[in-house]
Structure 1
Amino acid sequence: MQKTSDQKLNRNQSVYENLWKSLLPFTLPDYSSHIRLWTYGLFANINDFAPELVALCGLSLIPEMILIKAETEMDEVMKKKLQKLDESLRHPEAAALSTSRKKKKKKKKIQQEVGSQEGELQDEEEPYPDTVVKSIEESNSSVQPFTPPVVNSRRWHQTSLRWRPKLEKLANMDANKTYKLGSLTLVIDPKFLIARGSDGTQVFLGLRNDGTEVAVKRMDKFNYQDLKNEEEFLRLPELESTSIVRYVDFAEDDNFGYLALQLCEYTLEEYIQEYLPDDCAERSLVLKKLVKEVLCSLQVLHQPQTKVLHRDIKPQNVLIDIKGKAKLADFGISRRLKQGETTIRTSIAGTRCWKAKETIKEEVNTGYKRSSDIQVAGMLVYYILSGGHHPFGEDVDCEYKILQGRYSLEHLDDDVGKDLVEWMINENPEERPTVEQTLEHPFFWTDERRVRYLKILGNEKEAENNRNADKELLEAIAKYTEGKSFSEWKTKVSKTSVQSI
């Protein structure tokens, strides 16, 4: 019996060894993130019932981008399996100990069953009342019951992937090494510092008493009106939206104010520069999704019942959460329009190169409108779609170019995307769209809607008349549009759409 089990185990191990040797290459960066994700998924399934085999195969740690992608593309069961595999790869000793305990527990259960069967046989064959049978524990005095180690840990609902190793240290750190402030626990140490602001703001990792992971913004009390202002805005019921970074808590001590916010994974700047998918088609879809999410965030601010002007839109003030969703953040210099107001006049605000034309011209008594946010949001839309470029450049004369209306969209190939950007960054505030109009732009249309629109145009009487147009005129048009974008209009529409037309 034992020999057969050993042979079966060796045979299974050989099969899995051949399998993982075939799969391992597909986890490398040479392949698309989609292929890598599902390859790690296969290893996660194997790890679920044979972790000792996965531990031997030399599988590398799961990249953060793959874990983030899993959040949106896998079901809950597979996500848990992948997280379990990630933990095993990051902490192989703990995984091995867990596997060993399971084996011992299984072995002990088998021994108990065997002992029970032997006891029954002895009762039947040797019914002697004075016979005493000792258990394994009784016969071996050197064996001591297992006592779990005492760990100084606090409640922690694990969500973040990027910050998990540091949060794990925080969750298990001695209380005398942490700073407790109300319901917040943090460590004022560079190792737990995750961001800095230009105004002296520092952002630390923290945990709330209920286990919530938070980003804690700390600002000196002598200069923390912006922090109080941000708290005030984030507590508005109208800003309770999945498109806005969530307010969690506020506290203060003798020297600083502390604003606890939803912990996100990246700034938009980091995400664009380092974490986009390698596959071009996939990357295009992600960028379009980000643009729409940024505009939806702005829509929450600009809606009639909210009437909030952000006034500091830039890549660093858009955060990406664990699911890859973009959220607008940092409302320190935001302002709210009063009933009937369309403009707010204050001193100049915002960040260099991320200001609307009309706000650069006047340093005092500067007028801010919703359209001011729209122009800067247009710059951000181009930044996203171009992979990190600014339409007015970022050199010393950037703001001069904004004033002159001199921009370049050379890093964007999509003509429909260019049209959206040009509409938004128009130097005339009156000619810029509202945020609702930007979301209705053809850039966001599905292929089906584009086909439907083209069919409607094709049925217009004017279009019917043009089918009988003068042949020489059509040839002249074709001649003078040769080499221009319109002459290749079919390449701008998907093949399916062209065939449908």
Structure 2
Amino acid sequence: GYGSHGTIVYKGTFEGRDVAVKRLLLDFYDIAHHEVSLLQESDDHPNVIRYYCKEQCDRFLYIALELCPASLYDLVERGSTFQYADLLTTLHPSKILYQIVAGLHHLHSMKIVHRDIKPQNILIAPSKHKKFSKKDGVIQQTSSVRVLISDFGLCKKLEGDSSSFHNTTNNAGGTIGWRAPELLSSSVPPSPDGNNNNIESVWTSVDRLNDNSFTSSSTGSEYDNGQPRRVTKAIDIFSAGCLFYYVLSGGDHPFGDRYSREINILKGVYELSKLDGMGEEGIEAKDLIMRMIERDPKKRPKAEIVMLHPYFWSPSKRLGFLQDASDRFEIEERDPPSPLLQRLEQGAVDIIGPDWYKRIDRIVVENLGKYRKYDGSRVRDLLRALRNKKHHYQDLPDHVKRSLGEIPDGFLFYFTSRFPQLMLHVYYVIAESETLKDESMFRHYFELPGEV
């Protein structure tokens, strides 16, 4: 394969194992050794490419890296015609995306900003560990894959306690169509009224560029309102948000085709319609992506917050969260309603409709009425109904169980398919309360494993 700055990648061997050998021109000595240095520092993570060794010869520096059979770009763009297409079928898209952001979280925790997240720099490799599953009483080996972040040539190491760095003409970096707006806006001359009326001027001769591989090393002016422009880890989050949609949509980009992407990125004009037919999963994915591609970098979530989003939760975790939320809301003052309950019921019609009973099967409605009266206009009562049916599931008549579905998957789907906004609504009621999300019953939903 070929990369920027005259880079060529070969297949080779190192100590008896197959490796990828990356050859870099010594004309770009600083870039080459910068990449090696960051690889040595950051490769101790399952979602970051493994570095083995380096050798210098004549005009080249050779780097031995973990060999991966395909990139995310290969799998999405070439689809079933690609010889390693089966790799993609072994993972749900959410598993792919979680591994990408887990790798980013690792880099960011080491104060490394990647600066060139795109499909070509996300590699796919078979898992190092074999997994086994039992089906019809027979134990079978199942294949799984690892998703790895690669290509550290444009990475930036943040100095000391700094959380940002200067975006200058010497270190801007990024790839056309995958760069955050703050990396582009320095090229747009400000208009007298403060609006970017000259935004079209930034888009020049992009039709001559190969969007699949072109990497920029400059974005224009290095000053913003007379001050040196500074950018943060949020540029990686923006690129990852675009990548999320690329995976979920099967190759589309939220900001359009390659000829209009950068103008749309600057304008904040995007399209996520491919997620509309995915039910609750699509609603949660859209919420997450919209936050990641927010124009204002300060409003984008950090990598760990992305990893904690309900989109990545298992059905059992989602169900447990809704149950815990119901228990917590039940102890709140109802008359008059506490501020927390008022927040919960804001926009209730959009979440559950004017009467949630009308979205529930008659069989379930009749069973609910035997034990307690619920207010069909309140989110709190719907959560309580869900909680009570889950808590007493084993005691329910068989025909009610069949209607509700098996726990956790079927039971959760019964409610979320009828109320697809419910999960996110309850999540943000709790997540946006600093005191509530720190309570013992919720804390584990808002902390990464190993960081508690």
> Normalised by the size of structure 1, how large is the TM-score?
0.53
Q: 1:325 aligns with which of 142, 146, 150?
A: 146
Alignment match, 2:174: 350
* 1:74-473 mapped onto 2 (5 Å cutoff): 195-208=1-14, 210-236=15-41, 238-274=42-78, 283=89, 285-303=91-109, 306-323=110-127, 324-345=145-166, 346-347=168-169, 348-362=172-186, 363-365=220-222, 366-412=229-275, 413=278, 414-459=282-327, 460-461=329-330
Deviations 1:461-500 (A, max 9, x none): 4797899xxxxx979x8479999xxxxx999x95321569
Alignment match, 2:411: 496
Q: Read off the aligned partner of 1:357 and give its amino acid letter.
A: P
Deviations 1:140-168 (A, max 9, x none): xxxxxxxxxxxxxxxxxxxxxxxxxxxxx
The CA deviation at 1:264 is 0.6
Deviations 1:407-438 (A, max 9, x none): 11112231111111111111111111110000
1:204/1:343 CA distance change after superposition, 3 Å: same
Aligned partners of 1:463 and 1:395: how far apart in 2?
54
Q: Is the 8 A contact 2:43 2:51 kept in 1?
A: no
Aligned partners of 1:217 and 1:294: how far apart in 2?
22
Q: Is the 8 A contact 1:227 1:259 kept in 2?
A: no
Q: Read off the aligned partner of 2:47 and give its amino acid letter.
A: S
The CA deviation at 1:223 is 2.7
Aligned partners of 2:2 and 2:413: how far apart in 1?
50
- Flag structure 2 segments of 5+ consecutive residues without an equivalent: 128-144, 187-219, 223-228, 342-347, 360-382, 387-403, 417-452
Aligned partners of 2:18 and 2:231: how far apart in 1?
35
Aligned partners of 2:24 and 2:44: how far apart in 1?
24
Aligned partners of 1:463 and 1:380: how far apart in 2?
44
Q: Read off the aligned partner of 2:95 and give its amino acid letter.
A: K
Instruction: Give every structure 1 segment of 4 or more consecutive aligned residues whose post-TM-superposition deviation is greater than 6 Å.
Output: 276-279, 462-467, 479-483
Q: Read off the aligned partner of 2:258 and give its amino acid letter.
A: D
Q: Read off the aligned partner of 1:239 and give its amino acid letter.
A: D
In structure 2, the residue corresponding to 1:219 is in which secondary structure?
strand
Q: Which has the larger radius of gyration?
A: 1
1:463/1:432 CA distance change after superposition, 3 Å: farther
Q: Read off the aligned partner of 1:220 and give its amino acid letter.
A: L
> Normalised by the size of structure 2, how large is the TM-score?
0.58
Deviations 1:261-311 (A, max 9, x none): 1111101111223457999xx9595211110100010011011xx100000
Q: Which moved more, 1:342-351 or 1:448-457?
A: 448-457
Q: Is the 8 A contact 2:97 2:244 kept in 1?
A: yes
In structure 2, the residue corresponding to 1:321 is in which secondary structure?
strand
Q: Read off the aligned partner of 1:397 and give its amino acid letter.
A: S
Aligned partners of 2:333 and 2:318: how far apart in 1?
17
Aligned partners of 2:257 and 2:30: how far apart in 1?
29
Q: Is the 8 A contact 1:401 1:407 kept in 2?
A: yes
Deviations 1:221-245 (A, max 9, x none): 2234322211010111x43222111
- Flag structure 1 segments of 5+ consecutive residues without an equivalent: 1-194, 468-472, 484-488
1:451/1:364 CA distance change after superposition, 3 Å: same
Alignment match, 2:427: none
The CA deviation at 1:219 is 2.2
Alignment match, 1:42: none
Aligned partners of 1:474 and 1:220: how far apart in 2?
62
Q: Read off the aligned partner of 2:294 and give its amino acid letter.
A: N
The CA deviation at 1:455 is 2.2
Q: How many residues align?
A: 292
Q: Is the 8 A contact 1:359 1:367 kept in 2?
A: no
The CA deviation at 1:458 is 3.1
Q: Is the 8 A contact 1:379 1:390 kept in 2?
A: yes
Q: Is the 8 A contact 2:26 2:32 kept in 1?
A: no
The CA deviation at 1:199 is 3.0
Aligned partners of 1:448 and 1:395: how far apart in 2?
40
1:251/1:474 CA distance change after superposition, 3 Å: closer
Q: Is the 8 A contact 1:217 1:259 kept in 2?
A: yes
Q: Read off the aligned partner of 2:74 and give its amino acid letter.
A: E
In structure 1, the residue corresponding to 2:92 is in which secondary structure?
helix
Q: Read off the aligned partner of 2:269 and give its amino acid letter.
A: R
